[in-house]
Chain A
Amino acid sequence: MTVRRRVLVLAAAFVVLAAAGVFSVLHASARAERRDHVQGVGPRVSAGAVSLAGGGPARMVFRNMAWGPHRDELSSVPASDPGGPRTASGVKCLRFYAASGTGVCLQAVRGAVSDTYRALVLDSRLRTVRRYDVPGIPSRARVSPSGHLVAWTAFVGGDSYAGTDFSTRAEIADVRTGELIASLESFRVVLGGKPYHAADVNFWGVTFAGDDRTFYATLATKGRTHLVRGDLRTRTVTAVHDNVECPSLSPDGLRVAYKKRVAGLPADAPWRLYVLDLRTMRETPLAETRSVDDQAVWAAADTLVYALPGDFGADLHRVPADGSGRPERIAASAVSPAFLG
């Protein structure tokens, strides 16, 4: 082939490939309009006021994922009818939790060349009272039962050229003073009864006790996970159980619901929901037989709610906390629930 012909072939290929690329970008950007149209037979969503205040009617506040103009907005439904019509607040969050009139909303902030993330502390009327930078893609959010402490976990990419190597960062903030504990990695670690140091220590999935001092979280090191009990005053975490991820402390503070990596399950769906009794250290498998990758929420003393992948992102399901009964879907296109009132 002459150089001229080769250049022509390349130019022709370039035009075809550029057209394909432009088409795929246009197709993906047209999704913005499609997303604003209500799809399928999802629940009715209308704009209105959402309150995080304690008391009032029992309700579930969550991130609405149903396609339509209110996608990703914090929305509210009566706890007695979680699949019913939704009231959307206009506040958009990726992850959310609330207790005693305090909410935490993890958001993406679009920048010129890349997204950044932040955590907003919300008051009972969803007004922002504090704002923190979050160091990576947010994954878990919690508020202490008193509403005084908030926590979140983010995935932090180690090295953009490695691409697949991850670490997590768990942060706790005191809403009253604004003080931020930048990372739990600065805490003393006690593992197997002895002080423990390692470069690969990662924390995620903080859950708070009622005393504004004790918390539980997952500690990962050397490819294993541990349930740790943390003390905010002595800045120490102590391992109390193995193979526990995303713990969630029950309202009475005596049990921990968590996802357990069960041997023999496929690598991409390795978890089952369990409840650990902190007095006897007895593990109880729950009736949900699918792999759950979520930090479950106690809807009541005897019921857990968690998200599973659904048609439009995720659906919420519930299951009894004592291993009995059957799992049941309670709301489609919803994630990050908090039970209030």
Chain B
Amino acid sequence: MYVADSRASVDGAVRPAVAGRRRAALAPTVLALGSVSLITDVSSEMVTAVLPLYLVGGLGLSPLGFGLLDGIYNGFSAVVRLAGGHLADRGGGRHKWVAGAGYGLSALCKPLLLVVHTLTPIGLVLALDRTGKGLRTAPRDALISLSSAPEARGRAFGVHRAMDTAGALMGPLAAFLILRATVDGYDAVFTVSFCVAVLGVLVLVLFVPGGKGDRQLPSERPTLAAALGLLRGREVRRVAVCALLLGLATVSDSFVFLLLQRRLGVPDRWFALLPLGTAAAFLLLAVALGRLADRVGRWNVFLGGHAALLAAYLLLLGPWRGTALPYVVLALHGCFYAATDGVLMAAASAGVPEALRSSGLAVVQTGQALARFACSLLFGAAWTVWGDRAALAGAVGALVVGAAFALVLRPRDGREVVS
């Protein structure tokens, strides 16, 4: 099933899997994984959307303490992600089964929500749910990367991210339709969410090919040391360092929405719709920008995405207050995600040997995630001490410095490493 990343394919020879066609067909595995992510996101966003209502309206709990746990979950899920990446690489590629375990774990959390009714157990169930998410991310991205032709990876990741985001948009809608049709129907939301999640796991099990035995065992053994040793390689190190530096300048979404609301006085009741604007732009642009990345270079598009983010920051800082401002800012914000999220994985794939693909992607993702988390903490502190505009000006400065670094370091794009 895997399309081999051979030197021949990089040198421009016709690849065996796509012989006779001008444009490579999208690998069925990518479509299958896209479907799994779409279905799973419908399931998880259903729960996410009703959780505040459920805690306050359904259980009568006070949810204020919940935010505090977020930081701990973030650090924990980073560790889980590294572990998931490593486990998936061992034994010659168990990506499917490690990803499946992650999806399965998250699915099992939904019926648990039916039986726990106090804050601590609910927190634990949510932590378990995130563990599943952390576990599956790297092996899934490795599968996408391994199953698509190197020069079409940008598009493959773009298609996957578009399907993923479509699911995230449909989930809350499904949840509210169920609440509308029922009386206190939180149990129905959780049950339907569970059924949907099981369907996602089934699609994975039935339609995503398992890796084991399909390939020759590569010479490099996928040990933890080898995974970290990837950072000694120039390409991976450069990608990781750039992702980390730019991550340090990526202000968390909630701050962007909050800034937008403060600048424009968006009424509170519309506030919840702002993330939908970003998601819609992400959904619409993901495939096109992934394709563009294949054509003009992933690194160019990745940097271009950060230019879009910079433009969004500058618009938030600047004097213009037209009615179009929120649309432009959200479009730029979604464009940033479309140009960076999958594209980074496509770019990082090039420098990581197949045997360590999952661990390598996990290392890059984790570095980026931790950098973004650090940025959130710093940004929050700067906001407290100097105010929102000064904090944003600081983020602009960090982004310019990070982008300058990335321009200089500039990992060579598309060069395959053959194990």
Interface residues of A (CB under 8 A from B): 1, 6, 9-10, 13-14, 17-18, 20-21, 24-25, 27-29, 31-32, 35, 94, 110, 113-116, 133, 135-137, 139, 155-166, 168-169, 197-200, 202, 220, 223, 266-269, 293, 309, 313-314
Q: List 28 contacting pairs A-B, 8 Å CB cutoff, sorted by A.
A: A1-B206, A10-B203, A13-B198, A21-B195, A24-B188, A25-B181, A25-B188, A28-B181, A31-B183, A31-B184, A115-B53, A115-B179, A137-B56, A137-B57, A155-B52, A155-B56, A159-B275, A160-B48, A160-B49, A161-B253, A163-B48, A164-B51, A164-B63, A164-B126, A166-B67, A199-B388, A269-B118, A309-B60
CB of A158 within 8 A of CB of B191, answer no
B179-204 interface mask toward A, CB cutoff 8 Å, 1 = contact, 0 = none?
11111110110011001101100110
CB of B62 within 8 A of CB of A293, answer yes
Q: Which residue of A lies closest to B65 (CB)?
A: A267
Give the complex CA separation of A220 and B258 in angstroms.
18
Told that A137-B57, A197-B387, A293-B60 touch, could you supply 5 new A-B pairs with CB distance under 8 A?
Answer: A28-B187, A135-B267, A163-B51, A164-B66, A197-B384
Whether A160 contacts B120 in the complex (CB less than 8 A), given A13-B198, A24-B188, A200-B384, comes out as no
B97: CB under 8 A from chain A?
Answer: no
CB of B48 within 8 A of CB of A133, answer no
CB of A139 within 8 A of CB of B183, answer no
B2: CB under 8 A from chain A?
Answer: no
Looking at B56, B62, B180, B276, the one whose CB has the most chain A CB atoms below 10 A away is B62
Q: Which residues of A contact B119 (CB under 8 A)?
A: 267-268
Number of residue pairs spanning A and B whose beta carbons lie under 8 angstroms apart? 160
B131 to chain A, nearest CB (A): 15
The interface size bin for chain B is 35 or more
Whether A24 contacts B192 in the complex (CB less than 8 A), given A17-B199, A164-B126, A267-B120, comes out as yes
Give the complex CA separation of A113 and B68 in angstroms.
30
CB of A198 within 8 A of CB of B206, answer no
CB of B53 within 8 A of CB of A137, answer yes
- Which of B144-152, B170-178, B394-402 participates in binding chain A? B170-178
CB of A137 within 8 A of CB of B60, answer no
Give the complex CA separation of A212 and B126 in angstroms.
44
Q: Which residue of B lies closest to A267 (CB)?
A: B120
Q: Which residues of B contact A155 (CB under 8 A)?
A: 52, 56, 63
CB of B177 within 8 A of CB of A160, answer no
A272 to chain B, nearest CB (A): 14
Give the complex CA separation of A237 and B101 in angstroms.
52
B272: CB under 8 A from chain A?
Answer: yes
CB of A25 within 8 A of CB of B192, answer yes
B271: CB under 8 A from chain A?
Answer: yes
Give the complex CA separation of A135 and B266 in angstroms.
11
B365 to chain A, nearest CB (A): 17
Q: Which residues of B contact A6 (CB under 8 A)?
A: 206-207
